[in-house]
């Protein structure tokens, strides 16, 4: 029989809060801060699971670790219809002041995703020139909907991360020579 691990709380992942919580009430402030972080993450995960696009599935490999999850996007239209694309998301200690870290695990020929899994999505950037980058008001649900949209309306050929893929897409609108559909090769972690 396998013993279940206790839930991993933000207190177990805390990095020192540089100078902002000093004085005799330090431990009380840290506990309050961590409770707020945990409650926010718990609330966002519940909202995410209740409001997933029909083309997405979320998996928590360890249900006690809400700060790490995997997302599968299966587009039902466009260039990538019929494909199955996996992403991993890690929520950092400083969330929601900084965005989660997201990587595409499926090798894909996409203008906004490199072959090594880096993703160009403005809301994943801490600082964005266009003003649509990360803000503390954004949520995990926004991230999932944004990743899902990379396969439909946010497919961006004008400011690509993978220039070669963008040029190829523009030359071959049907994607017949490289095979855009059905990407299934998962990259090593």
The set of catalytic residues is 120
The residue length of the chain stands at: 189
Tokens representing residue 106 in the block: 């499926």
Class of residue 134 by CB neighbours under 10 A (exposed 0-12, middle 13-18, buried 19+) = buried
Q: Does residue 142 come out as left (phi exceeding 0), alpha (psi in the -120 to 50 range) or beta?
A: alpha
The whole-angstrom separation of Cα 69 and Cα 89 is 5
Element holding 90 (H helix, E strand)? strand 85-90
The whole-angstrom separation of Cα 161 and Cα 108 is 13
Q: Which residues contact 88 (CB under 8 A, 6 or more apart)?
A: 68, 69, 70, 71, 102, 103, 105, 189
Cα atoms found within 13 Å of the Cα of residue 96, Cβ hemisphere only: 18
């Amino acid at each position: 029989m396998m013993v279940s691990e206790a839930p991993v709380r933000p207190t177990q992942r805390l990095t020192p809060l540089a100078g902002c919580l000093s004085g005799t009430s330090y431990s009380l402030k840290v506990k309050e801060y961590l409770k707020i972080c945990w409650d926010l993450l718990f609330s966002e995960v519940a909202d995410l699971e209740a409001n997933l696009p029909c083309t997405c599935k979320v998996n928590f490999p360890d249900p006690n670790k809400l700060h790490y999850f995997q997302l599968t996007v299966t587009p039902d239209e466009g260039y990538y219809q019929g494909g199955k694309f996996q992403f991993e998301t890690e929520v950092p200690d400083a969330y929601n002041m900084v965005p989660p870290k997201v990587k595409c695990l499926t090798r894909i020929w996409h203008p906004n995703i490199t072959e090594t899994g880096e993703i160009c999505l403005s809301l994943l950037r801490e600082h964005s020139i266009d003003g649509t980058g990360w803000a503390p008001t954004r949520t995990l649900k926004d991230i999932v909907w944004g990743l899902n949209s990379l396969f439909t309306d946010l497919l961006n050929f004008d400011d690509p991360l993978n220039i070669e893929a963008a040029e190829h897409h523009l030359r071959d609108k049907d994607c017949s020579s490289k095979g855009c559909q059905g990407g299934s090769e998962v990259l090593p972690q």
